[in-house]
Amino acid sequence: MTEAVLHEAGDGVVVLGGVLDFASVPAIWEQLRERIAQESALTLSLGQVRQANSAALALLLEAVALARACSHRLTLENMPRNLLELAELSNVTFLLAVAPAD
């Protein structure tokens, strides 16, 4: 079984970590959807993601779409390189609100 976690980091930041795949994304989506609906501005840090596939990219695209639909701001930070590359290959990078790397 794969495991992903979503936890509070404070100041409007939530941290997503672990393995984001077809098995773990549905449960994480339920948690993330609630957070996005509650917060008018939220930062999602992906620095603790150990492994991710196209399900993770779909999760992020849905999260951004939900935030826009709610007129909320969602910023993604610390995006793993493989997810950025997958977004580039899929030609959807422009849809993700990724904060520049430090």
Domains of the chain: 4-95 (3.30.750.24)
Q: Dihedrals φ, ψ of 47, to 5°?
A: -65, -20
DSSP 1-62: ---EEEEEEETTEEEEEEEESTTTHHHHHHHHHHHHHH-SEEEEEEEEEEEE-HHHHHHHHH
pLDDT per residue as tens digits for the range 10-53: 999 999 999 999 999 999 999 999 999 999 999 999 999 999 99
Can you give the pLDDT at residue 99?
Answer: 62
Q: Provide the CB-side half-sphere exposure for 75 (13 A, CA).
A: 11
| DSSP code of residue 78 | S
- Residue-level pLDDT at 54: 95
What is the DSSP-derived secondary structure letter of residue 91? Answer: T
For residue 94, the model assigns a pLDDT of 85
Mean pLDDT for the stretch of residues 47-74? 95
CB 2 within 8 A of CB 17: no
Half-sphere exposure of 85 (CA within 13 A, CB side): 5
Q: Average pLDDT over the chain, rounded to whole?
A: 91
